[in-house]
């Protein structure tokens, strides 16, 4: 549950304003299935999230994204809100089944026209469009053919990337291939708490590899089709993993979770190889024969920056009994999203928590950013998601006051500033999220937005955090006082 005075870890609110570098990009972000609605308009076909959310028992209260926040029809209003706030960039995702309904073959020009209108509307207001090609909405027809555990899905994704690049490449300068492939692979095919809801640990590792391969193939397509000055990236929800104690067994538990949380993606994407210890740790699950000669070279494509999503740290220990993973913060399931890590237990980190039950700890963001700089010193970073869900409501006077979120944002932005001062090349920050929306398996019961949405009327109400964020943007850094 939300608390009135969240802990801000090692980065308390500064006594004076903290200025960010000139040109620092201030943005906000959303995902197609969470906001668009119009699930059956203009030829759009079901994605895995349409099917999953319509399956009884999968999503709280039986909520679906059929209408969501109706962004498909209300995008001019949403752009006007962003313009009023002064945000410099809007990171949105493209719905694959809206653009290519079967996941292969014919293209829907009506679907592409929606994103052309959205992009043009942003540019007219001086807001930089930032496109994410995949935020979890795989066309159901591709899932029926095997989904991400099948190699062919990687090639279908690259084809789709080329379609969107051809349509928007003359006006979009910043591109992201995948958003949080860890969730797609391990929550979708391991624990089953995300679409498509499968629970096979070997398939989750196959999916991870084919997401990696799809990323590499898509980067090649984007480079071939986009202007030379376009920026290409991927967004990872890198886990900041800590040991419960300094016992060597707990330290090794950190290594093991770091392997299947982070290095299974950063290894091939950034270093050109899967880590040997990850392959060894998961050898009882799969023999990795799905990795073909040349795959890691295809995955290892140059990036212009790395998108980093962060919400809360992860606390683990060695465990010698039955598998324990219910406190990992990723949803309850009888199946683990951590292949090869049954001897690791997850613990609730101490401190105040958001409505998601995630501990508020900005120090984890600082430590994560400095670690990425140590491992990849020449790679610029962008905070592509950071934010918090609280139990927001509209007061009788019509205002939505969310001081908890302001405290959360202040603490985490102070951590980003501290990382920059320590030499980390962070180029921008995207607040998650612009709007309250469909929060995946939690339905409409969790509110991450800086803009409140009354789902019955679709009325938008900027929260006090939105007004705070607008002031931050105007001043180029954290205000001295709220």
**Residue 481, pLDDT score:** 67
pLDDT digits (tens, 9 = 90+) for 248-298: 999 999 999 999 999 999 999 999 999 999 999 999 999 999 999 999 999
Nearest-10 Cα torsion for 150, 154, 155, 161:
150
What is the pLDDT averaged over residues 208-236? 98
* 202 vs 20: CA distance, rounded Å: 44
Give the model's confidence band at 326: pLDDT under 50 very low, under 70 low, under 90 confident, else very high.
low
**Residue 320, pLDDT score:** 87
Give the model's confidence band at 327: pLDDT under 50 very low, under 70 low, under 90 confident, else very high.
low
Contacts of 9 (CB under 8 A, 6+ apart): 351, 360, 361, 362, 363, 364, 411, 415
Q: Please identify every residue annotated as catalytic.
A: 180, 385
Q: What is the mean pLDDT of the chain?
A: 95
Asked if 230 and 165 touch (Cβ cutoff 8 Å), the reply is no
Nearest to 131 by CA among 176, 76, 75, 171: 176
Give the model's confidence band at 13: pLDDT under 50 very low, under 70 low, under 90 confident, else very high.
very low
219 token code pair: 């980067």
What is the pLDDT averaged over residues 232-253? 98
**Residue 479, pLDDT score:** 79
Residue 315 has pLDDT above 70, yes or no: yes
Which residue has 């929306």 as its token pair? 437
Asked if 242 and 314 touch (Cβ cutoff 8 Å), the reply is yes
Residue 304 has pLDDT above 90, yes or no: yes
* 208 vs 184: CA distance, rounded Å: 8
pLDDT above 90 covers a percentage of the chain that reads 92
Rg (CA), the chain: 21
pTM, two decimals, is: 0.96
pLDDT digits (tens, 9 = 90+) for 399-439: 999 999 999 999 999 999 999 999 999 999 999 999 999 99
Asked if 64 and 58 touch (Cβ cutoff 8 Å), the reply is no
DSSP codes, 305-341: EEEEE-S--EEEEE--SS---TTSSS---SS-SSTT-
CA atoms within 13 A on the CB side of 400: 25
């Amino acid at each position: 549950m939300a608390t009135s005075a969240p802990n801000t870890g090692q980065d308390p609110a500064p006594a004076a304003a903290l200025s960010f570098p000139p040109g620092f990009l201030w943005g906000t972000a959303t995902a197609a299935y969470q906001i668009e609605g119009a699930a059956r308009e203009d030829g759009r076909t079901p994605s895995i999230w349409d099917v999953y959310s319509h399956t009884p028992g999968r999503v709280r209260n039986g909520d679906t994204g059929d209408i969501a926040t109706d962004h498909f029809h209300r995008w001019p209003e949403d752009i006007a809100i962003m313009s009023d706030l002064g945000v410099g960039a809007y990171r949105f995702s493209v719905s694959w089944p809206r653009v290519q309904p079967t996941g292969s073959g014919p293209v829907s020009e009506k679907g592409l026209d929606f994103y052309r209108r959205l992009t043009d509307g942003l540019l007219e207001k001086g807001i930089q469009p930032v496109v994410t090609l995949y935020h979890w909405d795989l066309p159901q027809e591709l899932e029926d053919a095997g989904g991400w555990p099948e190699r062919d899905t990687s090639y279908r994704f690259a084809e789709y990337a080329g379609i969107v690049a051809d349509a928007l490449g003359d006006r979009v300068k910043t591109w992201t291939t995948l958003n949080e492939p860890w969730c797609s692979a391990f929550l979708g095919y391991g624990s089953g708490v995300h679409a498509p809801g499968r629970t096979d640990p070997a398939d989750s590792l196959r999916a991870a590899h084919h997401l990696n391969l799809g990323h590499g193939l898509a980067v090649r397509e984007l480079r071939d089709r986009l202007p030379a000055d376009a920026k290409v990236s991927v967004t990872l929800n890198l886990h900041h993993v800590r040991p419960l104690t300094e016992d060597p067994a707990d330290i090794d538990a950190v290594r093991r979770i770091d392997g299947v949380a982070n290095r299974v993606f950063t290894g091939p994407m950034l270093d050109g190889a899967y880590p040997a210890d990850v392959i060894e740790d998961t050898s009882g699950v799969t023999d990795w024969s799905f990795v073909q000669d040349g795959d890691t070279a295809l995955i290892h494509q140059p990036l212009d920056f790395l998108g980093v999503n962060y919400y809360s740290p992860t606390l683990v220990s060695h465990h010698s009994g039955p598998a324990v993973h219910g406190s990992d913060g990723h949803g309850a399931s009888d199946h683990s999203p951590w292949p090869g890590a049954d001897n690791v237990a997850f613990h609730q980190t101490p401190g105040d928590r958001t409505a998601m039950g995630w501990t508020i700890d900005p120090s984890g963001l600082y430590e994560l950013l400095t670690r990425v700089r140590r491992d990849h010193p020449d790679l610029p970073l962008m905070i592509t998601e950071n934010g918090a869900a609280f139990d927001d409501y509209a007061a009788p006077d019509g205002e939505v006051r969310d001081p908890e979120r302001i405290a959360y944002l202040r603490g985490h932005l102070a951590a980003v500033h501290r990382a920059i001062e320590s030499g980390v090349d962070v180029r921008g920050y995207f607040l998650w999220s612009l709007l309250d929306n469909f929060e995946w398996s939690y339905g409409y019961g969790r509110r991450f937005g800086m803009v409140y949405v009354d789902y019955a009327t679709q009325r938008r109400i900027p929260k006090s955090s939105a007004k705070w964020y607008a002031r931050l943007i105007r001043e180029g850094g954290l205000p001295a006082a709220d």
